[in-house]
Amino acid sequence: MFEIISLSLIILTLTLIFLFKHKKETTVGKTDMKTNELLILRKTESFARLPENLKTLSSIYCATLLSKLTFEGCRGAVPSEEIKVLTTFYAGLLCCGMKTLSPYSSLKAVLIYPRHFYSREEGGIGEDNNGYIVEESVEKIGESWEHGAVILSAHEIAEDLKNPEYGMNIIIHEFAHQLEFACPCPPHDNFDRKLFTQTMQSEYKSLCEMANAGEDDMTIDEYGAESPSEFFAVVSESFFTIPIALQQAHPDLYRAMQSYYNLDPAEWFRNRHPSHEASESPDCPRFEQL
Ligand SMILES: [Zn+2]
């Protein structure tokens, strides 16, 4: 009798351990978002285009980043729920092909400014009108620090979403810098390092030549000619916002980015149309409170 009771207790304990463990594992995969955060996400056009598996993964990443990152308003800005959801969604989207958010492990905060802000450039020393040496302040709409923070202009976020056809997205730009800091070699097996390095070098050179000649590239912003780092961030914007145009104009570059991100956004744009619910419309009131 005693053995039966002992055996039953052991089985009960093991069952409880299993159930507890299973509950913990399923909780990890759950999107722990508030209803209104989910509503904002579903209304985001870029989310609505995604295939189902990426909708699931990106919403998990969005929820994880929402709970991990601190949003701080600067110069009177109050980061709205829309700003928080859009920022964490696009940040998470960049990592979906890598299946990990580890590139953001040292990231703690997102600082939101109402419009532009000023930043002291490293080595930015100049002379004022009286010949005094002064540190130069540079007007910016976004900044990415190697450790700790991303800074974004709320106005710029709204402007980019209003005009997706321009291929610009300050959130993608600044979080692409985070990836570049954390993982020059992305953590997945489909990365072709040789293709990526050679293509980035030759395409960067071409953009610099065009910029020097005063010519525009219709799919890559001229700011990409500032440095290889800016080139990667600017091309990341085009890759996720105007992927078909980028693929048509720069097929090798598109392949290189596809190899880095392990994603194929052109397919999302060809195969899926955002539902009528989705809206990143110009007059969307969500940014007006900023
Ligand atoms: Zn940049």
Q: What is the average per-residue pLDDT within 4-15?
A: 50
Q: How far does residue 12's CA lie from ligand 1's centre (Å)?
A: 57
Q: Quick one: pLDDT band at residue 167, thresholds 50, 70, 90?
A: very high
Res. 58: pLDDT tops 50: yes
Q: Is the pTM of this model over 0.85?
A: no
Range of lowest pLDDT (27-36, 79-88, 151-160) = 27-36
Q: Read off the tokens for 152.
A: 């974004």
β-bridge mates for residue 111, sequence order = 72, 151
Res. 30: pLDDT tops 80: no
Burial (CB < 10 A; 0-12, 13-18, 19+), residue 252, is middle
Question: Residues lining ligand 1 (ion), CB within 5 A?
Answer: 230, 233
Note the CATH number of domain 31-287. 3.40.390.10
| 174-225: pLDDT as tens digits | 999 999 999 889 999 999 999 999 999 999 999 999 999 999 999 999 999 9
The CA-based dihedral angle spanning residues 9, 14, 15, 17, taken in that order and rounded to the nearest 10 degrees: 120
Q: How far does residue 233's CA lie from ligand 1's centre (Å)?
A: 6
Q: How far does residue 136's CA lie from ligand 1's centre (Å)?
A: 18
Q: Quick one: pLDDT band at residue 118, thresholds 50, 70, 90?
A: confident
127 three-class SS: strand
70 three-class SS: strand
β-bridge mates for residue 142, sequence order = 152
Q: Could you tell me the CA-to-CA distances from 56 to 59, 181, 259 in Å, in that order? A: 5, 27, 22
Res. 287: pLDDT tops 70: no
Q: How far does residue 132's CA lie from ligand 1's centre (Å)?
A: 29
Res. 277: pLDDT tops 70: no
Domain ranges in the chain?
A: 31-287
Q: How far does residue 197's CA lie from ligand 1's centre (Å)?
A: 19
Distance of alpha carbon 46 from alpha carbon 80, whole angstroms:
19
Report pLDDT for 238: 97
Q: How far does residue 144's CA lie from ligand 1's centre (Å)?
A: 7
Counting Cα atoms < 13 Å in the Cβ hemisphere of 135 gives 7
Q: How far does residue 251's CA lie from ligand 1's centre (Å)?
A: 23
Report pLDDT for 271: 79
Q: How far does residue 116's CA lie from ligand 1's centre (Å)?
A: 14
Contacts (Cβ under 8 Å, ≥6 apart) of 136: 120, 121, 124, 125, 126
Report pLDDT for 168: 95
Residue 157 in contact with residue 85, Cβ under 8 Å? no
